Amino acid sequence: MTKQRINIEEIIRDIKKAKLNDLQMMDKYPLDHKQLVFVLGKLADDKHISFGRMINAVKGCLTGSDIGTAEECLAVIEKYFPKASGVKTLKHRVENAVDKKKSQDEFQRQMQKPSPILKWFKSEYPGVTLHPEIERMIKVTDIYSDTPNSHVISIYQHLTETPKRLTIIAKNNHLFSGLSKYEANRMWHYIMLVTLAENGIETFFIVDVMDPMTCHVCGHIGFTHLPVKKVRDSIIKRVSSNSFLPKKLFPSVEDIDNMPPNEKVRVLMENGWYLPPFCDNCRCQIAPTAVPVSYFAGAP
């Protein structure tokens, strides 16, 4: 089947004559995104429509995660309409989206690799099936344990703490049956919190991944320091009242933005947002502010 030849100039004349808007235009003509952006740009140059319509065509590609198409559309705008309003802002958005997509692809590639911690667990506890969210968090720790911003995780969680948590889970695995991924994620971090309290560690902090995939909420909460015992006691109260998860599951940026540290801690404590998850696919971890040297004894 031969591809229909499209006469762009003829289409533009037809659109002006019929006074079609961009939606009617897309319905009538078989334009790809690059052609659409070019046509919209020509119409904007002639004051037939606003440049905003053209910009929105590219934003639509970003919303649909069609990063390649968005890059091609942006190239059309930069070549033919470099002075169009909003081009710089749009370019920044496209570049961020490209970085995020690359980070997502690399993350998925890393997640497919075998986990040494999971291999140890399966050999130590054959027949015990972990909750899928627990397996995901272990792999997340595998991936990010050696990144500069996660050095505490590398030293503490991977060598000592993760096997300890898994040992507790193996002996109480029935408690994870039927848990949602959010409940399992929070339980994963709660077990660590209890261990911290038992070892006299007074404060912990949230470790966000700090890559292009990190959402704004996790970025705002990252490196917030919280009191171990107060958080533990608050969770115990929540469990007794059947409210293990917060009433509003995740905070919004507006809930925690532009706050001094003490005020942010107060808001997180009052709303139960003191342990991950903080978003739908949260990769945040918790880590102790200070770790006694004696606690590394017996690390596998």
- For residue range 261-287, what is the model confidence (pLDDT) as tens digits? 999 999 999 999 999 999 999 999 898
Question: Mean pLDDT across the stretch 210-237?
Answer: 92
Residue 183: band (very low, low, confident or very high) from pLDDT cuts 50, 70, 90:
very high
Q: Which of 109, 140, 163 is the last residue of a domain?
A: 109
pLDDT at 79 over 60: yes
Q: Write out the residue range of the structural domain in which residue 42 sits.
A: 8-109
Query: How many angstroms separate the Cα of 268 from the Cα of each of 47, 64, 141, 230, 300?
Result: 50, 32, 24, 12, 35
Shared domain for 51 and 103, answered yes or no, is yes
Shared domain for 119 and 104, answered yes or no, is no
Q: Considering the domain boundaries, does residue 3 fall inside one?
A: no
pLDDT at 272: 95
Shared domain for 147 and 283, answered yes or no, is yes
Shared domain for 51 and 150, answered yes or no, is no
| Residue that wins the pLDDT comparison between 211 and 251 | 251
Q: Which strands form 203-207's sheet, in the order they lie side by side?
A: 225-227, 203-207, 285-288
Shared domain for 221 and 274, answered yes or no, is yes
| Range with lowest mean pLDDT among 38-42, 167-171, 183-187 | 38-42
Annotate the chain with DSSP letters as a single string.
-PPPP--HHHHHHHHHHHT--HHHHHHHS---HHHHHHHHHHHHHTTSS-HHHHHHHHHHHHHTT-HHHHHHHHHHHHHH-TT-TTHHHHHHHHHHHHHHHHHHHHHHHHHTSPPHHHHHHHHHSTTPPPPHHHHHHHHHHHHHTTSGGGHHIIIIIIIIIHHHHHHHHHHTGGGGTT--HHHHHHHHHHHHHHHHHHTT--EEEEE---STT--HHHHHHTT-EEEHHHHHHHHHHHHHTT--S-SSSS--HHHHTT--HHHHHHHHHHHT-SSS--STT---EEEESS--GGGGTT--
Question: Domains in the chain: how many in total?
Answer: 2
Shared domain for 95 and 74, answered yes or no, is yes
pLDDT tens digits for range 12-56: 787 777 776 656 666 677 777 778 778 877 877 777 767 777 777
Quickly count: other Cβ atoms within 10 Å of residue 85's Cβ. 14
Residue 198 makes CB contacts below 8 A (sequence gap 6+) with: none
Shared domain for 158 and 88, answered yes or no, is no
Inter-residue contact 165 to 131 (CB < 8 Å)? no
pLDDT at 229: 95
Quickly count: other Cβ atoms within 10 Å of residue 190's Cβ. 20
Q: Which of 109, 143, 166 is the last residue of a domain?
A: 109
Residue 288: band (very low, low, confident or very high) from pLDDT cuts 50, 70, 90:
confident
Q: Which of 61, 93, 109 is the last residue of a domain?
A: 109
- The tokens 């200070």 sit on which residue? 290
Q: Considering the domain boundaries, does residue 2 fall inside one?
A: no
Give the chain's mean pLDDT. Answer: 82
pTM over 0.85: no
pLDDT at 299 over 50: no
Q: Considering the domain boundaries, does residue 1 fall inside one?
A: no
**Could you tell me the two tokens for 269?**
């404590």
Residue 251: band (very low, low, confident or very high) from pLDDT cuts 50, 70, 90:
very high
Inter-residue contact 77 to 84 (CB < 8 Å)? yes
